[in-house]
Structure 1
Amino acid sequence: MAHPRVFQLANLLQPCITRKALLSGKAVHAQILTSGFSLDTFLSNRLVELYSQCNQFESALNSFYAIPNPNVFSWNAILCSASKSGNIDLAHQLFDQIPEKNVVSWNTMIGALARRGSEEKALDLYHGMIQQGLMPSHFTFASVLSGCASLIDLVDGKICHGLIVKVGLASNLFVENALLAMYTKCGIQDDAKMLFDEMTRPNEVSFTAIIGGLVQSGCIAEALRFFARMHRNNVCIDQVAVSSVLGACAKTEEEAYSPDQISFSFTVGQAIHAIVLKNGFESESHVGNSLIDMYAKHGNMEKADFIFKSLPSINVVSWNVIIAGYGKNGDAEKAIDMWKLMQESQFEPDEVTYISMLSACVKSGDAETARQMFDKIKSPSVASCNAILSGYSQNEDHQKAMEFFREMKFSNLEPNRTTLAIILSSCSGMGILTLGKQVHAAAMRFILHEDMFVSSGLVDMYSKCGDIEAARQVFDRMTDRDVVSWNSMITGFAHHSLNREAFSFFKSMREDGISPTESSYASVINSCAKLSSLPQGRQAHAQIIKDGHDMDTYVGSSIIDMYAKCGIVNEARCFFDSMPLKNIVSWNEMIHGYAQNGYGEEAIKLFEYMLDTKKKPDSVTFIAVLTACSHSGFVDKGIQFFNSMQIEHGIEPLADHYTCILDALGRAGCIRDMKLLLEKMPCTDDPIVWEVVLSACVVHGEANLGRKAAEELFRIDPKNSAPYVLLANIYASTGRWADATAVRKLMSDRGVIKDRGYSWIHNKRGVHAFMVDDFLGLVDGNGRKSNFDAHSHENCAA
């Protein structure tokens, strides 16, 4: 039995350990030494614990080594001290030396490894513990599940969950919370919610875990509902929960798809601000930073600035959040002022600060200032480089983006998926296939070509650069495809008039379980418009209504264009009138639709109504209305609108506008006015201008001007057969046969071949194109073949 003095000294040590009273503890240690009990294992264990609690690891280690016969408690005490000090290597050495390890020994080592970023080693140790036949405790499972969460290791996490159920710890709140964190961090929110609903008494840790996981996965509305449930259940709301849900309110503004959702998230954010004030959390910097972020992302910089200035303790994160807020709201000047003030306040900007500054400059369109800011960074990261690349790309300064990308490679900075996606976008914008292929090669070198984000960029680049086959090959090799990659292919097919493939891919996308977006529907509707395929267009329109995309202005404009190109102008106008929001594209499509179908008067009325609504027209609007005036013979109106472009609306006329006026004058036989306009025009190298002039000369037998127009076309495009044929026709119509023969000879000498004309027809078997002397296999209502039969050229199946 131990000496009574040992218990007395142990009782003196206990309050020192509890209060971390190092000086008093040393005094007791001195008494132990003078009393002759320094070799007592029990007291030595308590001394190791004392020095460990007071962060005096060397003293704890000396006390341990002074024990002549350390027991398992001695080993566990020094192991705990070593792991607490962060000396993992020494802790592992001590663990290996323990002669008889118990569950506490294993738990201490597994927990230390999991906390210090060695999760894989922690899992290996856990498997070793199981092989030794030891029963894990709730502490073991908590550490192991934490490691699985960090590694996003769902397989081991689920195996661990099975063992938890088997050993009867499934109802332990500590373990339940660890499981909840594991499932949420692995992105399995359905399982996390199921687990949460089975919990008998979820606490603030449980709610914080599920809310944080939902925010991370973008399930913002559900995260807000769980916070409301937490509040209703009178669960203690702490700073961590408040910060998580404020993060949800901030993210909603970026991820919501409707103004109502944005308004709702902001309202909830304001309500949480009231809870913060009620609970006295406003002095907590983490909560304050979350509030600044929430208000900034909703555009209320006045409130964000007020909270920033009210914080009792400002840290680098606070500065970064307020600077990023001004940047996001396009106020680069204020962001720069805050950056300067930050340095004046003795805070050193970090990488996040500079990225925020770069983003601010990029957002305001000032790529040059962003570059100057970038040059001040001593060791720029890939994220900083991406911000500069993004600025160049957004400003469509693709050449500078490519040059910067080359600089980045020479600096030995390895690009990531974002880098390659941005630079591929620039390649698409430039339309230079060779550069795109070089980036593809770089992606393969860095083993990023199979990344879904990069692959989608490659598909988009190849299709926009005209190599649709290469785009298809990249797409086919993708193991995972998101809606962006499908849209890139569908848009690429539609752009290259491969409408059959566009329809086929749209169908395959739906069969693959991918919900079409506005971009998907717009591309398919555009294919219907190009084919003038009304049945397919109506089907697509019905599906758009079913999926709730009919109110989108981008899709709506495509629907108007489709109905107009199919000749159903009344339906186009009905849909136009039903649109709650119309942008300039919607107006242009409707005006142009009237113009295409010969409804010049209605086009003019709609244009004038548009002006009455104070909607500002653009250059495309004037092309549409001038086309209407041209096709319907409203020459005076056309000239009036043309003259108003620069005077009233500040729009410089382009070649297309001049072409419309020339066409109107030509149709009306005003050849003299055409000549006068041609003399004043700044753009006479456009072939369409001269084609319009030549066509007018053919109609009115104007040989001199016709010859000039034809000669200009011979110069611009000598292989185009149209001007030769039209000039020959002018000469023939005026009886100048020798001149007509000379033109045909010139055409023959230059090897110019007249293009054959073709027609196309739509029936239940598809859309068929045919030329002169071709037969088109048609079947009448009784199933008999008509005389029109044989070499049909299938273009697209609608």
Structure 2
Amino acid sequence: MFYTVQKFPANQWTALISCLAQGGADAIVALREASEFLNSGVKPDGFDLVHLVRVSADLGYASYCQQLHGYVLKSGFVSNTFVSNALMRFYYKRMDSLSDAHKAFVEILQPNVVSWNSLMSGYVKSGEFRRTLGLFLELERSGICGDAYSFTAALVASGQVNLLQLGKSIHSKIVKYGLECGNVVANCLIDMYGKCDSVEDAIRVFDGMIDKDIVSWNSVIAACARNGELEQALSFWNQAPERDTITYNELISGIAQFGNIEDAVGVLSNMPNPNSSSWTSIVTGYVNRNRAREALEFFSKMHSSDIEMDEFTFSIILSGIAGLAALTWGMLIHCCTVKHGLDTCVVVGSALIDMYSKCGQINNAESIFWSLPKKNLITWNAMISGYAHSGDLMKVIEYFEQLKMVKDLKPDSITFLNVLAACSHNEIPLQKAIQYLESMIKGYGIEPTIEHCCSMIRLMGQRGEVWRAEKMISELGFGSFGVVWKALLGASGACKDTMVAKIAAAKVIELEGADDYVYVMMSNMFAYHGKWREMSLLRKFMRDKGVRKETGCSWIEVENAMSNTSI
């Protein structure tokens, strides 16, 4: 961008900066001439640098912005908050690099509320909601007073990660600062409460608003519909002074999820201007109810009606196809995504990887993975999951290790769940699987879930070490969950450990009451070890309770054994 050295009068430099500040078609020429000024020895001030960075970023001149960043560091303007804010905006908007934006933020000696808001906004848009909330709490501790933008970013993040108590705490601060009357803040509060399953609070905020706009009505309808309060949603829908596409879509989505899908189709048929989201909500409803074939029929109707399809339409129908393992349909949909130019979109690409993996075409899944220009964590998890379900531990570990090296991405709980699942399909030393679990907890700060615990229990059962599983349940804090004790009972049955099985059975009965599964498992265990007296007493108890064996569990061998044995 730097050109031949020339000498320019100061008033011309001022005119160029003024042109950059105004923007418009002349900005490109102004920026080119400004770069010549810089080569001639002109020293820009902070005001000049803000406009140079902003216009360069808007025009996509990434290399020039990075040169300006170097000049900022060298000349000491890094302490200028406004210049650093412009650099942050460039990195997260144009370079799609939140890590570099965060570095620019850290370089600011005294960040202002705009600095904090810019970084929080970047994390919200990237879906890193916990990082957003972490920044918000840092802002609170810094002594800088947050504004409406700070609170709305925090409310969006709280809703997305379902942190109701934190959302309520933010609401209290909003009231304290007198910001609750603004429509943007109030609408975000309604949305947050709706996403945190607190419909009453959402309605309370809505009722307290003086000037409701269409976003307010849509937000309260969405809060009711998304939580299955369809009658309440319909009531607001009927009261709304005006309706737009979003109003209809929220109602359709709620009915498709919780009500009669045919009713949702009826609302769609009476909708003035349905769009892709309107139709996709119906497809999603069918897929989520395991009615994938009907989803395909509706998708075909959507296709023949020339409704423009987006990446979400294709991703949800591919999810339904993956559940059916319908490879032919999957390949046809793949062709459609290519025709629409969406096959390399990260959302569609991830869904294609998942579909091909579940249809047993792991090589096709891998080809798509490497063809995607951009990959997010869902993409990586889809690929790791594909190899985990195919039992290829080496590939799982290979992709897992590569993921750890990717900038701005790190494994999450789903990643580790797939790694543990792959371990259970292979003769990997138990200690190695335990190391992965410890790495998840201590290295990445990820809280283990019941699924992680059950996966480890199954793995320990395969290795004949259920006694370690019993200890692990307490260590991970899942002792009050019946499902983990059921998993331990099943693992004990697999390795025929009667002692641990009795402990697990007692826990299941204590937490969940009498369970047919427990009695059948223990009966089988007694039979295997030839403990006919215990089995006979248990069988009598089961007969008195009317417990029946499940299909595939034969009583014949047990009865033959009993008839030939003195008890």
AA partner of residue 184 (structure 2):
H
Seen in structure 2, the aligned counterparts of structure 1 residues 529 and 232 have a Cα distance that, compared at 3 Å, is closer
* Structure 2 residue 448 is matched with structure 1 residue 539: no
AA partner of residue 437 (structure 2):
I
The answer to whether the 8 Å contact 2:199/2:224 transfers is yes
Seen in structure 2, the aligned counterparts of structure 1 residues 666 and 579 have a Cα distance that, compared at 3 Å, is farther
| 2:470 aligned partner | 573
The 1-side partners of 2:510 and 2:432 are apart by: 35
* Structure 2 residue 495 is matched with structure 1 residue 597: yes
| 1:390 aligned partner | 284
Matches within 5 A, 1:310-349: 310-342=208-240, 346=241, 348-349=242-243
Seen in structure 2, the aligned counterparts of structure 1 residues 590 and 662 have a Cα distance that, compared at 3 Å, is farther
Matches within 5 A, 1:372-771: 372-499=266-393, 501-502=395-396, 505-506=399-400, 509=403, 515-531=410-426, 533=427, 536-548=429-441, 551-581=448-478, 583=481, 585-600=483-498, 603=501, 606-614=504-512, 617=515, 624-625=521-522, 627-632=524-529, 635-636=535-536, 639=539, 654-656=550-552, 659-668=553-562
* Secondary structure of 1:380 counterpart: coil
* Structure 2 residue 198 is matched with structure 1 residue 294: no
* Structure 2 residue 34 is matched with structure 1 residue 130: yes
Seen in structure 2, the aligned counterparts of structure 1 residues 587 and 167 have a Cα distance that, compared at 3 Å, is closer
* Structure 2 residue 82 is matched with structure 1 residue 179: no
Shift of 1:597: 2.6
Q: Which runs of 5+ in 2 are unaligned?
A: 1-10
The answer to whether the 8 Å contact 2:19/2:30 transfers is no
| 2:5 aligned partner | none
Pairing partner for 1:277 from 171, 175, 181: 175
The 2-side partners of 1:463 and 1:396 are apart by: 19
| 1:358 aligned partner | 252
CA RMSD of aligned residues (A): 3.9
The 2-side partners of 1:218 and 1:616 are apart by: 44
> Looking at both structures, which has the greater relative contact order when contacts are Cα pairs under 8 Å and sequence separation is at least 6?
2
**What CA deviation, in whole Å up to 9, does each residue of 1:188-225 have, x standing for no partner?**
44444444455465444344333333433445455456
Seen in structure 2, the aligned counterparts of structure 1 residues 125 and 636 have a Cα distance that, compared at 3 Å, is farther
Q: How many residues align?
A: 540
The 2-side partners of 1:587 and 1:152 are apart by: 57
Shift of 1:604: 5.1
Give the TM-score normalised by structure 2. 0.80
**What CA deviation, in whole Å up to 9, does each residue of 1:728-766 have, x standing for no partner?**
xxxxxxxxxxxxxxxxxxxxxxxxxxxxxxxxxxxxxxx
Matches within 5 A, 1:243-262: 243-253=152-162, 262=163
Shift of 1:318: 0.9
AA partner of residue 285 (structure 1):
N
AA partner of residue 453 (structure 1):
V
The answer to whether the 8 Å contact 2:222/2:250 transfers is yes
AA partner of residue 182 (structure 1):
F
The answer to whether the 8 Å contact 2:91/2:101 transfers is yes
The answer to whether the 8 Å contact 2:482/2:512 transfers is no
The answer to whether the 8 Å contact 1:626/1:660 transfers is no
AA partner of residue 555 (structure 1):
H
AA partner of residue 124 (structure 1):
I
Shift of 1:525: 3.8
AA partner of residue 120 (structure 2):
I
Shift of 1:565: 1.7
| 1:16 aligned partner | none
AA partner of residue 302 (structure 2):
M
**What CA deviation, in whole Å up to 9, does each residue of 1:745-797 have, x standing for no partner?**
xxxxxxxxxxxxxxxxxxxxxxxxxxxxxxxxxxxxxxxxxxxxxxxxxxxxx
The 1-side partners of 2:537 and 2:385 are apart by: 38
The answer to whether the 8 Å contact 2:450/2:484 transfers is yes
The 2-side partners of 1:300 and 1:550 are apart by: 25
* Secondary structure of 1:613 counterpart: helix
AA partner of residue 454 (structure 1):
V
**What CA deviation, in whole Å up to 9, does each residue of 1:212-240 have, x standing for no partner?**
33433445455456555655666565433
The 2-side partners of 1:498 and 1:165 are apart by: 48
Q: Which runs of 5+ in 1 are unaligned?
A: 1-100, 115-120, 254-261, 671-798
The 1-side partners of 2:222 and 2:61 are apart by: 33
Shift of 1:431: 1.3
**What CA deviation, in whole Å up to 9, does each residue of 1:603-653 have, x standing for no partner?**
355324312222575x866764454355345554564576588x68xxx96
The 1-side partners of 2:118 and 2:405 are apart by: 35
Shift of 1:311: 1.0
Seen in structure 2, the aligned counterparts of structure 1 residues 512 and 660 have a Cα distance that, compared at 3 Å, is farther
Seen in structure 2, the aligned counterparts of structure 1 residues 496 and 153 have a Cα distance that, compared at 3 Å, is same
Seen in structure 2, the aligned counterparts of structure 1 residues 297 and 472 have a Cα distance that, compared at 3 Å, is closer
Shift of 1:313: 0.7
The 2-side partners of 1:629 and 1:122 are apart by: 87
Seen in structure 2, the aligned counterparts of structure 1 residues 666 and 510 have a Cα distance that, compared at 3 Å, is farther
| 2:4 aligned partner | none
AA partner of residue 150 (structure 2):
A
The 1-side partners of 2:447 and 2:80 are apart by: 51
Structure 1 or 2, whichever has the larger Rg, is 1
Seen in structure 2, the aligned counterparts of structure 1 residues 498 and 162 have a Cα distance that, compared at 3 Å, is closer
Once the two structures are aligned, what percentage of the paired residues are identical? 24
The 1-side partners of 2:355 and 2:519 are apart by: 32
Seen in structure 2, the aligned counterparts of structure 1 residues 391 and 142 have a Cα distance that, compared at 3 Å, is farther
Shift of 1:544: 0.9
Shift of 1:499: 4.8
| 1:307 aligned partner | 205
The answer to whether the 8 Å contact 1:122/1:144 transfers is no
Seen in structure 2, the aligned counterparts of structure 1 residues 456 and 577 have a Cα distance that, compared at 3 Å, is same
